[in-house]
Structure 1
Amino acid sequence: MSGIRDWRNLAYLLRGSTVQREVYTLLQQLDIMNVLAEYEPMLVGTVPLGIQVESSDLDIICEVYDQEEFTVTVRRSFGQMDDFCLVTRLVDGIPRCKINFRAGGWPIELFAQPQGTGRQNGYLHMIVEAHILNLLGNEFREHIIELKSGGMKTEPAFAHLLSLNGDPYEALLALGELELGELDSICKRSYSNM
């Protein structure tokens, strides 16, 4: 599934919507991917998928083993930005760091944990969602945007439209582990029953 696009190369945004091109320009102006380069940063979430709504933010995940060094780097480069906020905590014994700020009219969230970005849930959700969007087309995409505009988060919106049971975040991760044929079959069957 991840072979569809090189998500690390933000040039795909230049071939996207007006919003995606604006986001590309903003990220270049901030030089954020270069500042964070040693942490393997990756833009994930709704903007790469073209399903952002007015309340969407720019989510950048990072692979970080030294949180102190990471926070010093981020504070030095972005600490002066509006609404700068940094929170660190342990979740299931894993240290996580979340940094939020605003730039160019966008809320930006940096999420860091000691795991490769290609194995983090934000990325895994995005690649399965990208596959589902490509498979089910524009009508499905519009339904996702409609649910998100009504206040639903992305993963619950996908789970709702695909009639997935249980925790929507876990359900999407489980879909991502299926063989493509099985995934396609489940998605087409579930969505056609709506």
Structure 2
Amino acid sequence: MIDFTNLNYLKSGNERQKRAYEVLEKYQIFEKLKTYSPVLAGTIPIGIDIESSDLDIICEVDLRFEEKFLDDIRSGQLIPVDVEVTIESIIVHDEKSIVLNFMLEEFQIEIFGQNKPPLQQNAYRHMLAEHRILQERGEEFRHKIIELKKQGIKTEPAFGLLMELENPYEDLLKF
């Protein structure tokens, strides 16, 4: 099993994974986010990304101290000062979350913070389940997922369609 908590696996991945590693290292994103226990989640780590896929970085952010996190962002300590960042507070499954979006070179990056460790967040748990399913079902299944994503279907619903899951967001967590 890949250790998704350490970015080194990207160095031996496909071209997009290698490039993601280079960009994240160049800007020291994970080093700067270290206090927030960052983990790369989503489609790029498991090789089902499409051209428009972003780098999803999930973090543990104590939202009682959200302003400290935002001050770190605004001051340039986490993200270069000249980068335009959009910040949004949202509720996901009854949990307050903070989402930051910005571009670094060719990558759209999303930092998603919740008041829980990244390994307990649904984004990480979905990615592990999807990775396991991809390993079991092989390359043909992987290509079908990618084709559905190219048609505009989000990742979990794409798995749901191919696996006939009633509620893919919930059902994938059972894997």
Normalized per residue, which structure has more helix?
1
What is the root-mean-square deviation of aligned Cα atoms in Å?
Answer: 1.3
Quote the residue 2:9 is aligned against: 12
Out of 92-101 and 22-31, give the one that drifted further. Answer: 92-101
- Give % identity: 42
Aligned-pair distance for 1:90?
4.1
Amino acid at match of 1:170: E
Q: Give SS of 1:25's match.
A: helix
Partner of 1:107, secondary structure, is: strand
1:30 has 2:27 as partner: yes
Greater alpha carbon shift after TM alignment, 139-148 vs 62-71: 62-71
Which digits, 9 at most, give the CA deviation of each residue in 1:110-159, with x for residues without a partner?
00010010100000000000000011110000000000011000000011
3-state SS in 1 of match to 2:111: strand
CA distance in 2 between partners of 1:141 and 1:90 (Å): 31
Distance apart, 1:74 and its partner CA: 1.9
Shift of 1:91: 4.4
**Could you tell me the TM-score, scaled by structure 1's length?**
0.84
The answer for the alignment partner of 2:57 in structure 1 is: 60
Matched with 2:96 is 95
Q: 1:121 & 1:45 partners in 2: Cα distance?
A: 11
| Structure 1: gaps (5+ residues) | 177-194
| Greater alpha carbon shift after TM alignment, 89-98 vs 130-139 | 89-98
Give me the TM-score of the superposition, normalised by structure 2: 0.93
Deviations 1:67-98 (A, max 9, x none): 1111111222325314x100113445532100
- 1:76 equivalent to 2:78? Answer no
1:1-194 aligned within 5 A: 4-65=1-62, 66-77=65-76, 78=79, 79-82=81-84, 84-91=85-92, 94-165=95-166, 167-174=167-174, 176=175
Unaligned runs of 5+ in 2: none
C-alpha distance 7-99 of structure 1, shift in aligned 2 (>3 A): same
Which residue number in structure 2 is paired with residue 191 of structure 1? none
Map of 1:188 onto structure 2: none
Count of aligned pairs between the two proteins: 170
